[in-house]
Chains A and B, each alone.
Chain A
């Protein structure tokens, strides 16, 4: 008999929507508008919505600023939002591997310039944060926020 483990409960994840958007700061607002109505419909608390948007702003700004090599001026944004959780994914095609922990620590001591606080804020505001680096090709950032402090569901992902 197969033992009951978290791995056994893991299913392939399919996003509700996936968009390829031009790598430009003005696109952040368009993505925001798309999400606002969804989160409102699902009655996400105002504070949680604000946290999600702030983290999303930082994630997209980082992807646009640092993950934008010549020849591929676009990023990929995917999302799945339910009453239980909001899962956002930002993919850039810079292919740079970096150490998020370094930037997080830097943000706590840095008192010069404006940049450097994005990763720190994302970690602070979201419940789960993962980076998948594919060197030379892409960097995927996954952020998850639960609207209530309850633990995540027992089955992760959904077959699609």
Chain B
């Protein structure tokens, strides 16, 4: 008769252990002598990368038990051989009479965050210096056309800094509404394609000409920005005689868009690193490049906010393919009940 409650208790205990193991922060409980009582697998991964034995944890624990305060935070740099920075918080647990029983420690790997922060600060400093230089030039400029050019560069610089701040801020928070993706595509196409003929760029979208709509749930204006960016990219990256084409496939509840760019040297503007804004910043900081082009990085950010993915590839120097994969709106796919006549 007692077996059932015991089994339930075991099941509950397994569930709690599962949650403990699934935590993304390392959690450990340490007694007052510095002995490890409980830990999850993140602790093991952080202190023993590649399962290699070392003294990082044991020496960390011996410094932890020396702390004289009931809670606090510390930073640990496992400099060699790990090369990671950990941010730690600890709290002392006490028995009913208030005597310390041990420590509960949470640990987070902040290596990437630190690198990002440092890179961002360096870049910001470079941009501010550039801006000051441009402002000086604008003040000295005698011709209106020269002043306008400088102001244009200053505007781009400010735009880049705003975009960068958004990209660094993490995933976009968006309001989602249902819409037909094809409507937005047609809207952007109507705006940009007439200019293509003027500059000698060929355009074809036979692969988009199916009549069925593509129901998406997302942010309309942001998706319009995705298409506008791709069209604008073609206009600025393709030489005379270049070609842009769109195609689509729908399967397994997802739509795939294929955007092909064909033209000499297009791989320099659109490639696998185009969406990696941190790589672009590195290039600017190292002096390898003066141009920061965040447009593709930003559309990548938009697509990811819609639970989609984006890939950039080059089959040759004269070719670039952007592949966007987005989930369809499931509610639109399921016909509402009781409407059949």
Contact = CB atoms under 8 A, between A and B. Distances in A.
A152 B48 CA distance: 13
B58 A7 contact: no
Contacts, number: 112
B55 A152 contact: yes
A129 B72 CA distance: 23
Nearest to A152: B53
A126 interface: yes
Given A99-B114, A129-B80, A133-B75, A5 B44 contact: yes
Interface in A26-57: none
B58 A10 contact: yes
A12 B77 contact: no
Given A130-B56, A130-B60, A156-B57, A6 B76 contact: no
A121 B65 CA distance: 29
Given A11-B35, A156-B54, A131 B77 contact: yes
Interface string B26-65: 0000000111100100011001100111111111111101
A8 B179 CA distance: 55
Contacts of B73: 135
A126 B56 CA distance: 14
Interface in B161-175: none
Given A99-B114, A157-B55, A10 B80 contact: no
A111 B60 CA distance: 35
Given A130-B60, A133-B74, A140-B63, A6 B44 contact: yes
A100 B79 CA distance: 8
Contacts of B83: 101
Contacts of B59: 13, 87, 89, 130, 132, 142, 157
A7 to B, nearest CB: 5
A7 B63 CA distance: 17
Nearest to B48: A6
A132 B53 contact: no
B310 interface: no
B44 A7 contact: yes
B57 A10 contact: yes
Contacts of B80: 123, 126-129
A91 B65 CA distance: 15
Nearest to A6: B48
B335 interface: no
Contacts of B155: none
A152 B76 contact: no
B264 to A, nearest CB: 38
Given A133-B74, A151-B53, A13 B61 contact: yes
A97 B75 contact: yes
B79 A131 contact: yes
B44 A12 contact: no
Contacts of A156: 53-55, 57-58
B184 interface: no
Nearest to A119: B79
B81 interface: yes
B222 to A, nearest CB: 36
B47 A128 contact: no
B150 interface: no
Interface string A141-160: 01010000001111011000
A129 B84 CA distance: 11
A6 B79 CA distance: 19
Interface in B60-103: 60-63, 65, 67, 72-81, 83, 85
A55 B27 CA distance: 33
A108 interface: no
24 contacts: A5-B48, A6-B47, A7-B48, A10-B36, A10-B61, A11-B58, A12-B35, A12-B65, A13-B34, A101-B79, A101-B83, A123-B79, A126-B80, A127-B80, A128-B54, A128-B55, A130-B79, A132-B60, A133-B76, A134-B67, A135-B74, A154-B53, A156-B54, A156-B55
